[in-house]
Structure 1
Amino acid sequence: MSLLNNPTYIEDITYITKQELPWDKLTGKSFLISGATGLIGSCLIDALTALNKEKNLGIKVYAIGRNRDKIAARFDAGTVTPVQQDVNKPFSDEIKSVKADYVLHLASNTHPMQYSTDPIGTIMTNLIGLNNMLEISEGAERFLFASSVEIYGENRGDVERFDESYLGYIDCNTARAGYPEGKRAGEALCQSYISQKGMDIVIPRLSRTYGPTMLQSDTKAISQFIKKGVAAEDIVLKSEGTQLFSYSYVADAVTGLLYVLLLGENGGAYNIADEESDITLRDLAAIIADYAGKKVIFELPDATEAAGYSKATKAILDSAKLKKLGWRAGYDMKKGLTRTIDVLKAINA
């Protein structure tokens, strides 16, 4: 069974399209989206495709990725036009000719193995890639830059939750810092374009996100746990598991993006998270192990893996600002995890 034919995933897409948002703003609009085949980008494009069919909005999506055939095979040709482009390299005439109403920069290295094996690409996608996207978007109605909880760095005990005004602490003198510092510099770059070129830009800050659109290459702890759960294997925990983080199911992350895109204020940053999905790694692993009928085992990471891991032990987000726009999460941790495992089992069968 393919993902797009899976009843549970279809429910997720319907959940997104049933949000009480001003969908009329999207009538006849075009989107240019980097990171189109990633965890969040693919779910977002599936939702935009569904909106087209349900509401006849006439949306057009230009989906950017490094492999045109992969994009074409993944999405509906009636809504989506594949655009082959590495965002870190000079843009082709094809992409420069696209005059989109909404531009979303979702491309990023987003998991530990990429951080440790490609630290240059990790930081440059949030600098050069972002700048390339901004340069071709001056005429757009709105630009969205997907940032991250990691911009807050370590919790040093001075706050319980990070709100959007928290400044954070990051040791920039490490290769692992390329991801959080790249996101921080990317946010500053967005503010520069607002100030200097009068652009309209919003910045959602995503918590750790998971769901059935996750890539098989993803090496985040939660992704590794899920893959073990799908395979009905013991869950391998490579620490004591006391780290406390905020998570978001992908459908909630996408609704959060859409609330920020359609209702957020220019220049505003918004945390996307829900307190019902704040959980320690140990408890997260236990939910998956219990659902799979397996157990949690402990194993030390190798040097390459360890180099990509965050040193943060507590990073939970305050989402009050986003909730003021009307957003609410629809999936708690257990519901999101079990849905993810069920969908992946079905499409891998």
Structure 2
Amino acid sequence: MITDNQEYMSELRTWSKKYQDWKAFKDSSIMVAGATGMIGSCLIDAVMLLNKEADLNCRIVALGRNAKKAQGRFGSYWDDANFTFAEGDINAGVNYDGHVDYILHAASNTHPLAYSKFPISTITTNVIGTNNLLSYAAEHGVKRVLFMSSVEVYGENRGDVDKFKEDYLGYLDCNTLRAGYPESKRTGEALCQAYIKEKGLDVVIARLSRSFGPTMLKSDSKALSQFIKKGIAKEDIVLKSAGTQQYSYIYSVDAVAAIFFTLVHGKCGEAYNVAGSKCDTTLKNLAETIADAVGTKVVFELPDAEEASGYSTATKALLDIDKISQLGFVADTELRDALKATMRILKEEQ
């Protein structure tokens, strides 16, 4: 179980001391939608660690579709008084009727095979599920909601900027299967604005760059996740393109830090880019960094049609992080260090 992994716990402990004043969450309650996902599970681990070591006394309400899967992931907290799991699909409503102070919405399909195999649920979770969570928040007097959006909302870089600022609008072809994810994230953001206006809800948005870390799921089909799996197995890294695409990335532990920071310091209605300050790179360099770390090489292979249909067509998607930096947050973990820590931790969990 990853919560028994000393290096993972050390990563969370270091982050909690470095990035966040936790007073806002003392004796409060936080609902996490998408609890067993890469970011959702890491959010929960961070709070439960601070409950144990810093007397935070923060209650977690974890939302998820599979209680058996959740118990396997959160077994060390399952009987803790500060942990509650509510089983259900947020597309059908929120299966919890108690009060919570904050909602962190991390529920979404987030990788290419999921987009291509489950395009309907990809869209409905980001739209209907988001509406259900916002409605719950408005009806139950939730203090603030944080909606986890994505770099994908910017669409394709039109070639007129180096990095995306929060007011940038790129091209999206909505008449494609792949468009379901970015278009529904855009709609989710629009719903947040609607609830702010019509219901007076306090909502803030975090637009995450491509994320990786020790809590990534085995089913994750993102290119970087495949690279990491190959690295752990000490196999050649398979690159399914020339690798010239330029992307921003963020270590999941840093992403969690940014989410809590934005929840406390972000302005209602505003969106904030979240990326590592030292994690902009090309796909080829990313593959070579992992291969170099484990002593293998990079090889090239074309994807099959189903996998390719879920791939982003963006060739340059770098995030400008000035806005969140001006609030006082910078994720400065070195890319190579984060990748090596991820592989060490995941290898132990095999």
TM-score range, shorter chain: over 0.9
Deviations 1:90-124 (A, max 9, x none): 444xx1x1211001110000000011111111111
Q: Hey, what's the Cα distance between the residues in 2 that align with 1:130 and 1:26?
A: 23
Letter matched to residue 238 of structure 1: K
| Structure-1 separation of matches of 2:164 and 2:347 | 35
Matched residue, 1:82: 85
State the SS of the aligned residue for 2:27.
coil
1:274 is matched with 276
Aligned to 2:32: 33
Aligned twin of 1:12: 11
Deviations 1:110-144 (A, max 9, x none): 00001111111111111001011111111100001
Q: 2:28 and 2:93 mapped to 1: Cα distance?
A: 26
Unaligned runs of 5+ in 2: none
Indicate the residue corresponding to 2:304 in structure 1: 302
| Higher deviation after alignment, 44-53 or 70-79 | 70-79
Contact 1:16 1:47 in 2 (8 A): no
Q: Does 1:98 align with 2:98?
A: yes
Output the CA distance in 2 between the equivalents of 1:67 and 1:24: 32
* 2:64 aligned partner: 65
Which digits, 9 at most, give the CA deviation of each residue in 1:11-48, with x for residues without a partner? 21102321353311111111111110110111110000
Match of 1:246 in 2: 248
Alpha carbons 2:232, 2:343 under 8 Å: kept = yes
Q: What one-letter code is carried by the residue in structure 1 that aligns with 2:22?
A: W
Deviations 1:207-242 (A, max 9, x none): 000001000000000000000111111111000000
Deviations 1:162-192 (A, max 9, x none): 0111122111111100000010010000000
Structure 1: stretches of 5+ with no match in the other structure = none
2:237/2:296 contact within 8 Å kept: yes
Corresponding residue of 1:125:
125
Give the residue type in structure 2 aligned to 1:130: T
1:162 to 139, 164, 179: 164
For residues 69 and 346 of structure 1, the distance between their equivalents in structure 2, rounded to whole angstroms, comes to 22
Normalised to the residue count of structure 1, the TM-score between the two structures is: 0.96
Query: What SS does the aligned partner of 1:64 have?
Result: strand
Instruction: From 166, 171, 174, give the equivalent of 2:173.
Output: 171
* Alignment CA distance shift 1:330-1:276 (3 Å): closer
Aligned-partner Cα distance in 1 for 2:83–2:15: 18
1:256-284: CA deviation from partner (whole Å, max 9, x where unpaired): 10110011111110000134100101000
- The letter of the residue matching 1:166 is Y
Distance in 2 between residues matched to 1:91 and 1:30, nearest whole Å: 16
Distance 2:122 2:281 in 1: 27
**Cα distance in 2 between the residues matched to 1:43 and 1:193:** 27
SS at match of 2:44: helix
Does the CA-based 8 Å contact 2:151-2:207 persist in structure 1? Answer: yes
Instruction: Give 1:216's aligned residue.
Output: 218
Q: Is the 8 A contact 1:16 1:254 kept in 2?
A: no
Distance across 1 between alignment mates of 2:269 and 2:235: 45
- Residue in 2 aligned with 1:226? 228
Matched, 1:311 2:310: no
Task: Indicate the residue corresponding to 1:204 in structure 2.
Answer: 206
Q: Name the Cα RMSD after superposition.
A: 1.1
Distance of aligned partners of 1:212 and 1:184 in 2 relative to their CA distance in 1, 3 Å threshold: same
Work out the CA distance in 2 between the residues paired with 1:28 and 1:248. Answer: 29
Q: What is the aligned partner in structure 1 of residue 266 from structure 2?
A: 264
Among 319, 323, 330, which residue is 1:328 paired with? 330
- Superposition pairs of residues 144-163 of structure 1, within 5 angstroms: 144-163=146-165
Q: Distance in 1 between matches of 2:3 and 2:233?
A: 21
Q: Distance in 2 between matches of 1:87 and 1:267?
A: 22
> Cα distance 1:328–1:275, how it changes in 2: closer, same or farther (>3 A)?
closer
Post-superposition offset of 1:329: 1.1
CA distance in 2, matches of 1:91, 1:102: 14
> Runs of 4+ in structure 1 displaced over 6 angstroms?
none
- Residue aligning to 2:109: 109
SS of equivalent residue, structure 1 residue 146 = strand
After TM superposition, the structure 1 stretch with the greater mean CA deviation from structure 2, 319-328 or 215-224, is 319-328
- TM-score norm. by structure 2 comes to 0.96
Cα distance in structure 1, aligned partners of 2:47 and 2:218: 24
Inter-partner Cα distance in structure 1 for 2:21 and 2:236: 45
1:244/1:280 contact within 8 Å kept: yes
Alpha-carbon distance in 2 for matches of 1:185, 1:88: 15
